[in-house]
A = this chain, B = another copy of it.
Amino acid sequence: MKALLPSFESIFSIDCVIFGFDRGELKILLIERNEEPFKDWLALPGYLVAQDESIDDAASRILHELTGLKDIFMEQFHAFGDVNRHPQGRVITVAYFAMLRLNGAKELKPLTSFAKKAFWHPVNNLPALAFDHSEIFEKALQKIKRKITYQPIAFELLPEKFTLTQLQTLYEAVLNRKLDKRNFRKKMLNYGILKELDEKQKGVSYRAAKLYKFDKRKYAKLFKNELSF
């Protein structure tokens, strides 16, 4: 397909901010770059969009190629288009985020040589990242902080069965502040979107907590109502 107006052509990329939650810590997925510019630097998984793919498709493909992860639902959140954000030319990027449960200890394995490796890194103490990726990450963090207060995205980060304490720890990690235990439970249970299971936590050396599941049906009914913290 021939472009119409060559003087307006730009290079276009996707960057992904993938959040995970593991042992009480919020993490994001980084790659170590294997190509210039910023060779050997840490960066968000990101690459160029081809002409024959939608940006949503490109996001899925790129994440897969750089990390091995497939079938991750990502949501677009911002385009970054400063002229000099890429040292070698004009590159506009659209950033996506996703939330991911880490329980399966999913294998991370780049499928291309563009990334040396992919790995999880705690969001606290992030090192300097390539390009404007630190800025992109910050914007994503702000986005999920807001979003967790009105949509049940937290459940995407937890294993299917979880305890209320785990849920609370996650909220605290994202919001970066302590919440009151009794009030948190009251509020969560009141929403009626948790299903209490007959099972209990296993393998802990203290009183085991009840396990819960997120009840998608009930949530769908309440969809217009928003949560707030």
**How many copies of the chain does the oligomer comprise?**
2
State in angstroms the CA–CA spacing of A55 and B56 once bound together.
20
State in angstroms the CA–CA spacing of A122 and B89 once bound together.
41
A-B contact pairs, 11 of them (CB 8 A): A3-B89, A4-B11, A4-B89, A9-B9, A10-B12, A49-B81, A53-B83, A55-B82, A55-B92, A76-B78, A92-B94
**A86 nearest CB neighbor, chain B only:** B4
Indicate if A1 sits at the interface (CB-CB under 8 A). Answer: yes
List the B side residues contacting A4 at CB < 8 Å: 11, 88-89
A49 touches B1 (CB 8 A): no
A interface with B by C-beta (< 8 Å): 1-5, 7-12, 48-56, 58, 76, 78-79, 81-83, 88-90, 92, 94, 228
List the B side residues contacting A11 at CB < 8 Å: 3-5, 8-10
A51 touches B10 (CB 8 A): yes
List the B side residues contacting A90 at CB < 8 Å: 1, 3, 51-52
List the B side residues contacting A5 at CB < 8 Å: 11, 48
A8 touches B89 (CB 8 A): no
State in angstroms the CA–CA spacing of A89 and B131 once bound together.
29
Cβ of A184 to closest chain B Cβ, rounded Å: 20
Cβ of A135 to closest chain B Cβ, rounded Å: 13
